[in-house]
Amino acid sequence: LHIKVEMFDTPKNIEHWEHFHGFPDGKVAQAATMAQDVNHDGFVDLPETEPVSGTTMVPLDADPAKMNIPNNTYPVADGNGYYEYEIDVPLTELQENFKKAFGSTDLQLDKRVVYVHGVPESIKLPDTVKGCVMDYDTHTTLPIAAGK
């Protein structure tokens, strides 16, 4: 599986978590919009994306097939907020781990959405923003872009 992501104008000089998200039951995921800001704090945090986008499935990091979400091997934006991520993923290994997590080898990529996350620590986020993953706080997990 060949994956390529090119991003412009992201928050610069920080790592950006990125994954595809979706529903294990095969429901078609949609990218969240501001309509998902149900607590009206001005941010669509990770939990708020879940009703329309489903759960975090596969990381677009240094080794997607491992499906280890919390780590530090995601792409880092340059001083202009640009990055390019490109990787060949061993499909059989990914499918084995996908089946362990979600019960099927069928990735159903046409039903998933890709999220890019990450804002600088210097941004003050209100306590209403949720979505910590293990030791990673909401600055790491806050979505900044999503697309089919």
Q: Which residues bind Cu ion (CB under 5 A)?
A: 19, 56, 115
Task: State which amino acid sits at residue 73.
Answer: T
What is the Cα–Cα distance from 101 to 95, expressed in whole angstroms? 10
Q: For residue 103, what is the DSSP state?
A: S
CB of residue 134 vs Cu ion: minimum separation in angstroms?
14
| Residue nearest to Cu ion according to CB distances in the complex | 19
Which one, 19 or 111, has the nearer CB to Cu ion? 19
22 phi, psi to nearest 5 deg: 180, -175
Q: Which residues contact 41 (CB under 8 A, 6 or more apart)?
A: 126, 128, 129
CB of residue 1 vs Cu ion: minimum separation in angstroms?
17
CB of residue 130 vs Cu ion: minimum separation in angstroms?
14
What is the Cα–Cα distance from 115 to 29, expressed in whole angstroms? 11
Which residues, listed in sequence order, are joined to residue 87 by a DSSP beta bridge? 3
CB of residue 72 vs Cu ion: minimum separation in angstroms?
15
Which one, 79 or 147, has the nearer CB to Cu ion? 147
Which one, 1 or 144, has the nearer CB to Cu ion? 144
Which one, 39 or 55, has the nearer CB to Cu ion? 55
